Amino acid sequence: MKKLAIALALSASVITLSACNSEADESEVVVETAAGDITKEEFYEELKSRSGGAVLQELVTVKVLEDNYEVSDEDVDNEIEAMKDQYGDSYDMLIQQQFGSEDAFRQILYISLLQEKAAAEDIEITDEQLQERYDRSLKEIDAQHILVADEETANEVKQKLDDGGDFAELAAEYSTDGSAQDGGNLGYFTAGDMVPEFEDAAYSMEAGDVSDPVQSDFGFHIIKVNDIRDTEQEIGEFEDVKEDLRRELVASQVDTAKLQEKVNGLIEEAEVDIKIEEFENMFETEAAEG
């Protein structure tokens, strides 16, 4: 069963500055060179001037999330194990390329799980939705689509299809998607791979059907379903994957603007008092702008 994390993790710079947070004397030498030494204070001031505001904001956000939600080491370990199962021998290389080390990845994953807890709190997933997601996960659909920017163009393309136009040729002519020159071919996909509007339409169709224009955040799609088959993935029994399905549905329904507004509210409730002069009004300014 594939694991989907909410793609809202704060940047890895959280780790960068927190690693420098020790009780040592600020005059402590952290780098020695033949040309001269660099002290902890010099290093701190440089970090602060370059990206201190963003890093400080992230650190405060994490602290506030930790005060409201709990993510255990076991939770993070479970995510790591799931990814190892998914990526196999390529896991170590993937982590090294994307995050530098597993420790850095664990920290980002930890923050992502905190944010997921905050998001899930306001999203209700029904048993009917879970069952529908499971049923869809048992099937894969092979489809083509034509993506255009406006409804008028979408209706024009649909009319040409109804008049006998070739789908692949019209995709090459009209579609703004990268699949256009391949006739709009998307290959096989399953539940969770496409935006919800596209998925809902495709899973309501039969092989050979062509949809009316379907609107999503990307524009207007016209979908042609070529084939429907049983999935090649190991799904497992419904009760065994129910929680994974719930998390996938939460991820698909997150409104990032509303989530940010919620986090901002938690920060305001935390009565943050920044002692660094350059950043002391950071959150007050953001609240006024919001």
User: Can you read off the two tokens belonging to residue 124?
Assistant: 């209700």
Q: Please report the pLDDT score of residue 229 as a whole number.
A: 97
The residue behind tokens 């002391």 is: 280
Give CA–CA dist 57/245, Å, rounded.
32
Q: Is residue 249 part of a domain?
A: no
Q: Are residues 118 and 220 in the same domain?
A: no
Which pLDDT score, from 0 to 100, does residue 21 have? 47
- Do 105 and 161 fall into the same domain? no
Residue 8 forms part of a structural domain: no
Q: Where are the alpha helices (DSSP H) in the chain?
A: 13-18, 40-68, 73-87, 91-99, 102-120, 127-137, 151-162, 167-174, 196-203, 238-253, 256-269, 282-289
The reply to whether 276 and 208 lie within a common domain is: no
pLDDT score of 47: 84
Q: Determine, yes or no, domain membership for 266.
A: yes
CA distance 269 to 42: 34
Q: Between vectors from CA 253 to CA 248 and to CA 259, what angle results, nearest 5°?
A: 110
The CATH number assigned to the domain holding 152 equals 3.10.50.40
Specify the pLDDT at position 25: 61
Q: Are residues 154 and 100 in the same domain?
A: no
pLDDT tens, residue by residue, 152-174? 999 999 999 999 999 999 999 99
Does residue 117 sit in the same domain as residue 151?
Answer: no
196 and 149, same structural domain? Answer: yes
> Does 20 fall in a domain?
yes
Q: Are residues 107 and 162 in the same domain?
A: no
Domain, as residue range, for 49 = 13-123+254-289
pLDDT on residue 22: 46
Rounded CA separation 126/116 (Å): 18
Tell me, yes or no, whether 84 lies in a domain: yes
Q: Are residues 211 and 264 in the same domain?
A: no
Q: How far apart are CA 65 and CA 114, in angstroms?
A: 6
Are 101 and 169 part of one and the same domain? no
Residue spans of the chain under pLDDT 50: 1-24, 285-290
Domain count, the chain: 2
For the entire predicted model, the pTM comes to: 0.70
Query: What is the per-residue pLDDT for 9?
Result: 37
* pLDDT computed for residue 26 by the predictor: 62
- For residue 254 the two structure tokens come to 């997150």
In this prediction, residue 162 carries a pLDDT of 97
Shared-domain flag, residues 175 and 215 = yes
C-alpha span between 243 and 41 (Å, rounded): 47
109 domain-assigned: yes
Based on the fold, state whether residues 111 and 148 are members of the same structural domain.
Answer: no
Count of other CB atoms within 10 angstroms of residue 159: 10
Q: Tell whether 258 and 118 lie within a shared domain.
A: yes
Rounded (5°) CA angle 167-170-171: 85
Taking the C-alpha atoms of residue 155 and residue 148, their distance in angstroms, rounded to an integer, is 10
Tell whether 236 is covered by a domain: no
Angle at CA of residue 185, ends 133 and 245, nearest 5°: 15
Q: Are 271 and 141 in contact (CB under 8 A)?
A: no
Q: What is the pLDDT of residue 188?
A: 96
Position 274 in a domain: yes
d(C-alpha 268, C-alpha 256), whole Å: 18
Spatial distance between the Cα atoms of 212 and 203, rounded to a whole number of angstroms: 14
pLDDT at 53: 85
- Partner residues linked to 179 by β-bridges: none
Element (H, E) at 214: strand 214-216
